[in-house]
Structure 1
Amino acid sequence: MSTAASPQASDAGRSFGPVVVMGASGCGKSTIGERLADYLGCPFVEGDSLHSPANVGKMRRGIPLEDADRWPWLDEIGGLLARRPPVVVSCSALKRSYRERLRAVAGRPITFVFLQGSRATLARRMGGREDHYMPPSLLDSQLATLELPSGETDVVTIEIDQSPERVVALAMSNLAIRWGRSTTEEITGGV
């Protein structure tokens, strides 16, 4: 977990809700989530770090997780989202039912930032990672599980075929609009 220490951003952090950076493996959830948390002056939680040892073991062996494997993990993440001050959490949240579970456990409005990319882009990124338990062989099962968040008004979709800086800028602009701010500076307190 990383945290930012800006007093201005911390004060602003009380005026927005939790954020889940979601998408298939390789989309950049951790990179974008950390940067968003820094901008917002709130903690970032790497959702993958909350998987049980059994879940991690399955994924290391190339075995896709089933819903029963994910429910306790989603409940733990939902509990983090319920806390104050808000946090930014990375979580694949591939199915609508997973997102509904997070919403229900959090018990408060959440904003999802969906990082969407082509299979080729995701495969290339996954192939370039070192020391990650999620093998590229599981990408197709993730994409088969993915239910696009069509019609979910609390989801901001951003294409990942651009620089991380551009993805974060688009996310911050969309968050500002969602939270009723005219500018990103109003969210971050000018940080």
Structure 2
Amino acid sequence: MLPQKTLFIIMGVSGSGKTTLAKKLEEIMNLRFIEGDDLHPESNVKKMSQGYALSDEDRYPWLKNIIKRANEEEQCIVTCSALKEKYRLYLRDNIEHSVLFICLEGERDLISKRLQNREGHFMPGSLLTSQYEAYEPPLNEPDTILLNAHSPVEDNVQQAIAWIRANKEE
């Protein structure tokens, strides 16, 4: 059974559909949705806007902001790329909740096309390569499900909900 305090982190590279999936799950599960991109320090937004990839040192203040915000909630859904295993471990170790990761994976070419059509976001599509280079798939990590970013969002919603329900019954 899921603990009362559970954080669902929707993770993946930019353009994988994290926000879209999170908003759908927010509606269905009646949980607060926190857009992780809104928690980036201004220096990170400026750096990415100028086409520079974030370093590990740049990411930790952002992860700390996510942790602080998540710990204020009973249950919530947060979007966060969480590209490296050490970021996911850091989140797990510092969030006071049970943490479940829902990972969206997809082929670079298709994700790149999504980013070309996206408007109003600070991260340019040119940084997608750096995200794929940094990405460490969460294979065999606990409390994690991998979903296909190219599947219809409704299919991913159903798979995520079925997985969450299965976790509740354990």
Using the size of structure 1 for normalisation, the TM-score is: 0.84
Q: 2:38 aligns with which of 49, 66, 69?
A: 49
Give 2:162's aligned residue: 173
Q: 2:122 aligns with which of 133, 149, 152?
A: 133
Give 1:24's aligned residue: 13
Q: CA separation in 2, counterparts of 1:49 and 1:138? A: 18
Residue pair 1:17, 1:110 contacting (<8 A) in 2 also? yes
Q: How does 1:14-163 map to 2 (within 5 A)?
A: 15=4, 17-163=6-152
Rate the CA distance shift 1:28–1:65 in 2: closer, same or farther, 3 A: same
Post-superposition shift, 1:84?
3.6
Q: CA separation in 2, counterparts of 1:177 and 1:83? A: 26
Post-superposition shift, 1:15?
4.0
Rate the CA distance shift 1:130–1:84 in 2: closer, same or farther, 3 A: closer
Structure 1 stretches (4+) deviating beyond 3 angstroms? 13-16
Residue pair 1:95, 1:146 contacting (<8 A) in 2 also? yes
Q: CA separation in 1, counterparts of 2:41 and 2:69? A: 16
Post-superposition shift, 1:16?
6.0
Question: Which residues of structure 1 form unaligned runs of 5+?
Answer: 1-12, 182-191
Deviations 1:27-73 (A, max 9, x none): 01111011112211110000000101110000011100001111011
Give 1:187's aligned residue: none
Give 1:9's aligned residue: none
SS in structure 2 at match of 1:62: coil
Deviations 1:153-181 (A, max 9, x none): 21111012221111111111111112227
Task: Determine which structure has greater relative contact order: mean sequence separation of CA pairs < 8 Å that are 6+ residues apart, divided by chain length.
Answer: 2
Q: CA separation in 2, counterparts of 1:128 and 1:176? A: 34
Residue pair 2:4, 2:74 contacting (<8 A) in 1 also? no
Identity value in percent? 35
Q: CA separation in 2, counterparts of 1:25 and 1:69? A: 16
Rate the CA distance shift 1:177–1:133 in 2: closer, same or farther, 3 A: same
Q: Structure 1 counterpart of 2:54, which letter?
A: L
Higher strand share: 2
Q: CA separation in 1, counterparts of 2:73 and 2:42? A: 28
Q: CA separation in 2, counterparts of 1:80 and 1:111? A: 16
Residue pair 1:78, 1:103 contacting (<8 A) in 2 also? no
SS in structure 1 at match of 2:169: coil
Instruction: Say what the alpha-carbon RMSD is for the aligned residues.
Output: 1.6
